[in-house]
Amino acid sequence: MKLFYWCAGIVALAATTTASIKLRSLTANDVRPLTVNDSVQFEGEKHFANVRQLTFGGDNAEAYWSYDAKYLIFQKTSIKEGIPCDQIYIGKVPTTPTEKFEPKLVSTGKGRTTCAYFLPDGKHIIYASTHLGGDDCPPPPDKAKLGNRYIWPLYNTFDIFMATTDGKIVKQLTTAKGYDAEATLSYDGKKMIYCSDKDGDLDLYVMDLKTGKEKKVTNTLGYDGGAWFSHDGKQIVWRASRPKTQAEIDDYKKLLSQGFVAPTNMEVWVANADGSNARQITNFGQANWAPNFTPDDKHIIFCSNHEYKRGFPFNMYQVDLQGGGLTKISRDKGFDAFPMFSPDGKKIVFCSNRNNGGTRDTNIFIADWVE
């Protein structure tokens, strides 16, 4: 749960910080062919070219490429469309200016889902879902009882499933009581890394998909989640909170015991794929999250609000593996996050509040990547 939506929550936070720039109004009913225009790209975004908006309305997040770059899988909430909480959709990436992006539902339509990812065969997907715990959306946290702060619920009915791209569940990958979610795969498709509280803390686990055997790869108190493998499979990158003072530790443990986490102070960490040589590579304060490797595995692209004491905007940034060479990638005045490069490194997908007509909508964008 790629935290702050970690997977399902941050878009809700971002929705309250929509851009102040006045752009043409677009809704879920706007199905006109989209052409590139300045309203989807801002001055200074030199790494983007031919930006195209794919969705128009609702909260669309965590959009990730298939291995052949022909499809995207993502999670969507849209009250207007009768989707009360996140469900998983797959859509073919348009190849012409007039081709529409027409995603289809591939999750059960029950419960809440999050964090979907393609397998290399292009025929299967993984995602987390609460549907075994009930057909309805699990209730949101009562913020009034939690200090009126941003809180993310750790629904204990979340488990990770493998399904076909037609939506048929073929295997349940996790069965432990508690929160199991935030899964991605190694680029060879053999290993899954995910977040679980099965041992009493929010830690990362790596599972061999063929055998089901797994290893816990983080062991420090605090939230560890939203992890990705490097393209060569040798490293992992993730976001982590590390409560230090006794007050911070007590607060973290109290929330965790109640099934919550407050994901407002996060930094980006890198380690070997087995969890060894773990090292913090950002130290910016506030929320630094949604990290991912660049195609050459030499840099990390991530989302952060560290420039803004008020907590927003969120923009995308890039650093090297030592945490140096900070480069600002996006320039929206609202919310830009969940970046993922296409397998050939030529394109990028991300989710943003840009071009939403002043609404709270978060939409999916793709662009050519310019070095």
Task: State mean pLDDT over 366-371.
Answer: 97
DSSP SS3 for 83: strand
User: Is 217 in contact with 275 (CB distance < 8 Å)?
Assistant: yes
What are the distances in angstroms from CA 59 to CA 224, 336, 364?
24, 13, 9
pLDDT tens track for 244-295: 999 999 999 999 999 999 988 999 999 999 999 999 999 999 999 999 999 9
Instruction: Determine whether domain 10-369 maps to CATH 2.120.10.30.
Output: yes
Residue 293: how many CB atoms within 10 A of its CB? 23
Distances (CA, A) of 145 to 6, 53, 149: 21, 38, 10
pLDDT tens-digit profile of 61-114? 999 999 999 999 999 999 999 999 999 999 999 999 999 999 999 999 999 999
What is residue 159's three-state secondary structure?
strand
Residue 119 has pLDDT above 60, yes or no: yes
Residue 239: per-residue pLDDT: 98
- pLDDT over 90 (residue 44): yes
Return the minimum-mean-pLDDT range out of 9-18, 32-41, 174-183. 9-18
**Domain range annotation of the chain:** 10-369
* pLDDT tens digits along 155-188: 999 999 999 999 999 999 999 999 999 999 999 9
Amino acid at 354: R
Pull the structure tokens for residue 62. 């965590």
- Contact (Cβ atoms closer than 8 angstroms) between residue 185 and residue 119: yes
- CA 367, CA 371: separation in Å to the nearest integer? 12
CA dist., res. 250 & res. 244, Å (int): 10
What pLDDT shows up at residue 143?
85
For 33-38, what is the mean pLDDT? 36
**Residue 8: per-residue pLDDT:** 39
Q: Are 101 and 143 in contact (CB under 8 A)?
A: no
pLDDT of residue 14: 42
pLDDT recorded at residue 37: 36
Distance, in Å, from the CA atom of 233 to the CA atom of 237, rounded to the nearest integer, reads 11
Residue type, 283: N
The neighbouring-strand residues paired with 244 are none
